[in-house]
A and B are shown apart, each in its own frame.
Chain A
Amino acid sequence: MHSKVKHIVRMQDVVKTYRQGKVDVHAVNNVSLEIEQGDFAVLCGPSGSGKTSILNLIGGLDVPSSGQIWVDDVDLSTLDNTELSQVRKNRIGFVFQAYNLIPVMTAYENAEFVLNLQGVDEAECRERVMQTLRAVGLEGLEHRRPDEMSGGQQQRVAIARAIVTAPAIVLADEPTANVDSHTAESLLDLMQQLNREQGITFLFSTHDQHVMDRASRIIRVHDGKIDSDEVSH
């Protein structure tokens, strides 16, 4: 008996073309891809291969030139900017290479930010934020601002911000690129734990072998196309 697999992301014949001067550059070239619930998947490839462009398209930060993308069964191609921001707010978590925390907010407030946008009431906000900060190992640091934390701690706050809303998928663009190898390992431990214990789906872009070693699925991208898609054991 087979249990039905839920596809969190579906890309079908997606093309993204940028105009550079007089030349059209195909950043994403006819990509079809499915990400399943619970995946801990990695998009890997050299710089300029199209990893970040694919993440941006899945995250609704960019729109495809052609093709269709579904996230959590929502067809992104039919949405306007406000509706796309709703999808990002409610279904997607982002972790960026440069942490990108709001500098005037504390760790707690950064994690709380998306819940505030969702209109979650204060008591529930507090409970969920504290629970998440505990989960990412930041208990006791909730009142610190980004400039009072190390790179690893900031990235943990970014992860907390990404998962606090219990999104359908977390998109992480080279999340370990700006931290040392020891911190990178602990961040990967954390995300793997969240994936295993809470069932959060992760999709990374990286060219870091350490990240690839942890992935349950490795999707290799080259010149905007998917070269290979392997399940790792």
Chain B
Amino acid sequence: MNLNQLAWRNIWRRKRRTLITAFSIGFGVMLAVTFTGSGDYTYTNMIDTGASMGMGHVTVEPVGYHLKPTLDKRLTGTKDLRERIVGLDGVSDATVRITGQAMFASARKSVGGAFIAVDPAFETEANNLLVRSLVEGELFARRDGRGIVVGSRLAKKLQVKIGKKIVYTTTDATGEIVSNIARVTGIFTTGEDTIDGILALLPIASVQQTLSYAPDEATVIAVLIRDQRHAESMRDAISVLPEAGDASVLTWKKSQPDLAAVIAFDKAGNYISQFLVGLLIAVGILNTMLMSVLERTREFGVMMAVGMSPKVLFKLVMVESFWLTIVGLILGIIITAPWYYFLYYYGIDFSDAFGDDFSYGGVLVDPVFKARLFKESVVAILGTLFMLALLAGLYPAWRAGRVPPVESLKTI
């Protein structure tokens, strides 16, 4: 009989105790999957939503624009650069945009706000949250047209409806005050009051003319990627494109620092929760293994008396911890699978409590609590719990081999 077989039989000596401990590990798996899965889902959702609000997962912009976004800074050759970027592996879309501050005036009111000038040919519901959030009208049909799409709160402030005129005034590339007129073609409601209250979409060609920009000049190329976790590598890939020249390439963490800070803070809380769960599990295993070792002191004495070395005895108890952990992890996978399936496909709807337009960190958050686990998260959960469980077995294993056999044999 080898150590593995002996350890396996030993852990089933006290079936109830082993099962309770295994269930505690399994419950830990379930909690870790819930915490991590909801984090993976929510953060991805927030990052993707944030990206579709204007700046993308990766932003190409003129040097210094991030710190001081004035319209005298601009990218040139945006058409060629966009085409190169769209051809990169992992890029789902890239859109050329001009972003800036503007004063909007209707026949009745004037309100300060911001605009994003877009090419309607490339803007879709998939890559633009504002297009996705249209509640009235439609996106202007032509890039050189005179349409404008405004947020519902901005429309309310300006007291405008579909078809009404708005004059927008901004500062051009040379610092001159310039104005243009546009007719409301659509109204969007994202649910985020700040966005709905200040933002408008304009046709890029019209804005380029207004600002005295050349046809391939813009302030931003917003790049959307298939997996937000690859933003850094995508930034590096874009930076080395010859067409990028000396343009500044930023990930969403730089272009949306508030969102990045909120996620980092939330993640830290999540890690602390998971650490505490892990600690509880480790204490449970420590308790089980310690009891198991203490009640077998005499038996260990016999084993050492007939020639088992303290090192092999240590190994035996560690192998017992290993099997206990494996049983717990398997049990954890079994009890977590239906729970994860439910969270993956259905989730828990908190819209009654938070409303449909719950925002966090400046972006809208899905009020349905769902979970999506990244592969690396699965490995991290199982790996961490496995290591914790083995660590918890170290002390009992060390203790088992430490008592001199003559003392062990005296115990009843």
Contacts and interface: CB of A to CB of B under 8 A. Distances in A.
Given A113-B1, A116-B2, A102 B310 contact: no
Contact of B409 (A61, A85, A90, A102): A61
B302 A100 contact: yes
* Most chain A CB inside 10 Å of its own CB: which residue of B1, B13, B404: B1
B404 to A, nearest CB: 7
Given A82-B311, A104-B6, A105-B1, A62 B305 contact: no
Contacts of B308: 85, 89, 117
A102 B13 CA distance: 12
Contact of B305 (A82, A94, A105, A109): A94
A117 B311 contact: no
A106 B307 CA distance: 19
A124 B102 CA distance: 91
* Most chain B CB inside 10 Å of its own CB: which residue of A56, A81, A86: A81
Interface in B1-15: 1-2, 6, 9-10, 13
B9 A88 contact: no
What DSSP secondary structure best describes chain A's contact surface?
helix
Contact of B306 (A81, A82, A113): A113
A114 B1 CA distance: 10
B306 A88 contact: yes
B390 interface: no
Contacts of B309: 81-82, 85-86
A118 B6 CA distance: 16
B8 to A, nearest CB: 9
B307 A85 contact: yes
A12 B13 CA distance: 44
A59 to B, nearest CB: 7
B381 interface: no
Interface string B293-318: 00000110011111111111000000
Interface residues of A, number: 28
Contacts of B310: 81-82, 85
Nearest to A94: B305
B278 interface: no
B13 A117 contact: no
Contacts of B409: 61, 96, 100
A161 interface: yes
Interface in A73-92: 81-82, 85-86, 88-90
B214 interface: no
B6 A61 contact: no
B406 interface: yes
A112 interface: yes
Interface string B378-412: 00000000000000000000000000111001000
A116 B307 CA distance: 10
A104 B13 contact: yes
A118 B409 CA distance: 22
A26 B240 CA distance: 84
Contact of B9 (A59, A90, A104): A104
A105 B6 contact: yes
Contacts of A96: 302, 305, 409
A161 B306 CA distance: 9
A212 B1 CA distance: 37
A102 B299 contact: yes
Nearest to B307: A89
A145 to B, nearest CB: 10
Contacts of A104: 6, 9-10, 13
A61 B405 contact: yes
A81 B6 CA distance: 23
A59 B302 CA distance: 12
A116 B304 contact: no
A113 B2 CA distance: 9
Interface string A92-129: 01101000101111000100111011100000000000
A170 to B, nearest CB: 11
Contact of A88 (B2, B13, B307, B311): B307
A142 to B, nearest CB: 13
B307 A117 contact: yes
A225 to B, nearest CB: 20
A100 B298 contact: yes
B12 to A, nearest CB: 8
A148 B298 CA distance: 21
Contacts of B311: 82
Contacts of A105: 1, 6, 9
Given A88-B306, A102-B302, A116 B312 contact: no
Contacts of A61: 304-305, 404-406, 409
Nearest to B309: A85
29 contacts: A59-B305, A61-B404, A61-B405, A61-B409, A62-B404, A62-B406, A81-B309, A85-B304, A85-B307, A85-B308, A85-B310, A88-B307, A89-B306, A89-B308, A90-B307, A96-B305, A100-B299, A100-B302, A102-B303, A104-B6, A104-B9, A104-B10, A105-B9, A109-B1, A114-B307, A117-B307, A117-B308, A117-B312, A118-B307
Interface of B: 1-2, 6, 9-10, 13, 298-299, 302-312, 404-406, 409
**9 closest Cβ contacts across the A-B interface?**
A89-B307, A104-B9, A62-B406, A85-B309, A100-B302, A61-B406, A88-B307, A109-B1, A61-B405
Given A94-B302, A102-B6, A103-B13, 8 more contacts: A59-B305, A61-B405, A82-B311, A85-B310, A100-B409, A102-B302, A105-B9, A113-B1
